[in-house]
């Protein structure tokens, strides 16, 4: 499920970029990161507070 969530966020940000590219073509999309995950075969996972996500 986390892969689908990351994909959805990326697509949403690309949609925003497409809408505002006439104003600023130099904008950047970044900092997309998984913060936590629960369930599944690997169980619960939390990002360490020191990780930047980039």
Of 18, 48, 51, 54, the active-site residue reads: 18
Tell me, yes or no, if 18 is annotated catalytic: yes
d(C-alpha 50, C-alpha 20), whole Å: 32
d(C-alpha 1, C-alpha 51), whole Å: 21
Contacts of 35 (CB under 8 A, 6+ apart): 46, 47
The catalytic residue positions are 18
């Amino acid at each position: 499920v986390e892969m689908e969530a990351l994909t959805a966020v990326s697509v949403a940000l690309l949609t925003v970029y497409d809408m505002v590219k006439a104003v600023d073509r130099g904008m950047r999309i970044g900092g997309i990161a998984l913060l936590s995950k629960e369930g599944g075969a690997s169980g619960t996972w939390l990002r360490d507070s020191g990780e930047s996500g980039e």
